[in-house]
Amino acid sequence: MQNEKKPATGVLPGQGKPGASMYPKSPTGEADARIPSGRDVEWEPLIDYRRNGVSETTIHGAVAWATGGDIVHSFGGNVLCYGRSMMKPQMMKALVEVLDPVTDWVQKAIAVSSHNGTAEHVAAAQSLLPREEWGLMQTPLDLPLVQFGRQVRRPRRWYHTCSGEHAAILRGCRLLGWNRAGYTLPHHPFFQEYVATLRRVLGGGWQPLRVARDGCNLPTLSNTVSELSILFASLAAQHDEDWIWEAMIRHPDIIGGFNRLDSTILKACDGRVVAKEGADGLLGLAILHADYPDGLGVVVKLAHGWDPQATWYVARAVLGVLGFELRNPYSLHRQKAFIVPGVVPPDRVAKLDSVATWDDWDPDADRWYYDWQRYTGDSPSEERRPTP
């Protein structure tokens, strides 16, 4: 019948369903004056992919450069986002002292990793806990990030990209006498100590606007891109105060793994750059550079989320103008990538011309090598334009 009431297709407040009050009030989203949505912020183009000179894909995002506690360059707006796994080096600062004497360098590296889930990664994560305590680890069931592993293995908690961090937290909690039940909750002593470490950099009055549950079940804090770059600048400034920097430099393939951007940057920059990826679309760089004696932090956030290839092009541009050589990612299919100058400060834009986004052995496969107009009867000198 035409007047028959259709059943609700989602859970909305006012329907009397359990938990309805926790859901959004509308599928179009609510406005919060303190928290701009992705529709409100001033994303800027960071890179575009062109086929024979015509843009086909444009990657938007935000980039911030900081040294000490000051922002030296911002492009794309001071976007509010979650730090996600990019913040693992800062998170582990809550446990650096207690873990230092009881862990080796591989265990230290796996503690700040977002690993691929290879046998090497799993073994390193498991080594942090005695076997009888493995059941305490509360990452979700997952598969390895490497393709072969995803095809042939059953999900396990240890394959999760954050299992090393979780195991390290459990080890630290036991040593500190903290209850390990509820270690993934925001009121647990570990998380409160992590918040305290951020306040030592951002100021004692700093308060996150939102705390959400991350993909690995731990809480994740909301920060602006500028705040995140200041925190990564502090990593560089404090690089010799604890083991985090050295662990990442010593074992770059433990941090991510094969063909991962952060691992590649760690290996390419001779110990002068620490890099950490994070979902969705995050890359943090802590850089030791003579022009920035208080440490340099650069954070990239892509508007559309996880895209290692696009992030790689931006990272190559940022590092290239600072004198570091990072190889290009795997080439695009019959396209070329072009960097928007705003990803670097104005005084470094001129250096972008020397950082090619393609390699000299790449074929120029987005066009033909002959003058196709010769075979159409048109004069080669006449430009053919589409009819309006």
Q: To the nearest 10°, the Cα dihedral for 30, 35, 36, 37?
A: -50
Confidence grade of residue 23 (pLDDT, cut at 50, 70, 90) = confident
User: Is the model's pLDDT at 64 over the cut of 50?
Assistant: yes
d(CA 356, CA 352): 8
| Containing structural domain, residue 206 | 58-354
Tokens 């932090």, residue located: 297
- How confident is the model at residue 28, as a pLDDT? 83
Is 223 part of any domain? yes
Is residue 388 included in any domain, yes or no?
no
Which residues lie below 8 Å from residue 324, measured CB to CB, with a gap of 6+?
Answer: 268, 269, 272, 273
Q: How many domains does the chain have?
A: 1
Joined together, the tokens standing for residue 33 give: 């004056």
Identify which has the larger pLDDT, 253 or 375: 253
The residues, ordered by sequence, that sit 6+ positions from 148 with a Cβ below 8 Å of its Cβ are none
What is the Cα–Cα distance from 171 to 128, expressed in whole angstroms? 7
Residue 140 lies in a domain: yes
CATH code of the domain containing 137: 3.40.710
Tell me the mean pLDDT in the region 108-136. 97
Rounded mean pLDDT, 292-299 = 98
CA 38: distance to chain centroid? 17
Mean pLDDT, the chain, whole residue set: 92
| pLDDT reported for residue 367 | 87
Nearest to residue 115, comparing CAs of 262, 280, 274, 287?
Answer: 262
Is 41 domain-assigned? Answer: no
Which candidate, 343, 61, 69, places its Cα nearest to that of 232?
Answer: 69
For the stretch 196-252, pLDDT in tens is 999 999 999 999 999 999 999 999 999 999 999 999 999 999 999 999 999 999 999
Is residue 42 over pLDDT 90?
no
pLDDT at 149: 62
Is 137 within the bounds of a domain? Answer: yes
- Of 77-91, 186-200, 374-388, the one with minimum mean pLDDT is 374-388
Q: Which residue has the tokens 């299992």?
A: 163
Task: Give the model's pLDDT for residue 1.
Answer: 46
In a domain, 360, yes or no: no
**Amino acid found at 359:** D
Nearest CA-CA partner of 149 in 305, 309, 310, 258: 258
Rg (CA), the chain: 24
> Tokens for 40?
């409100």
How many C-alpha atoms does 332 have within 13 Å on its Cβ side? 23
Question: In this model, does residue 255 exceed pLDDT 90?
Answer: yes
Is residue 386 included in any domain, yes or no? no
Token pair 């028959």 is at which residue? 4
Residue 376: pLDDT band with limits 50, 70, 90? confident
Task: Provide the Cα torsion 104, 109, 111, 112; round to 10°.
Answer: 150
Of the ranges 162-166, 202-206, 372-376, which one carries the lowest mean pLDDT score? 372-376
pLDDT for 378 equals 64
Side-chain-facing half-sphere of 100: CA atoms under 13 Å:
11
- For residue 24, being part of any structural domain is answered with no
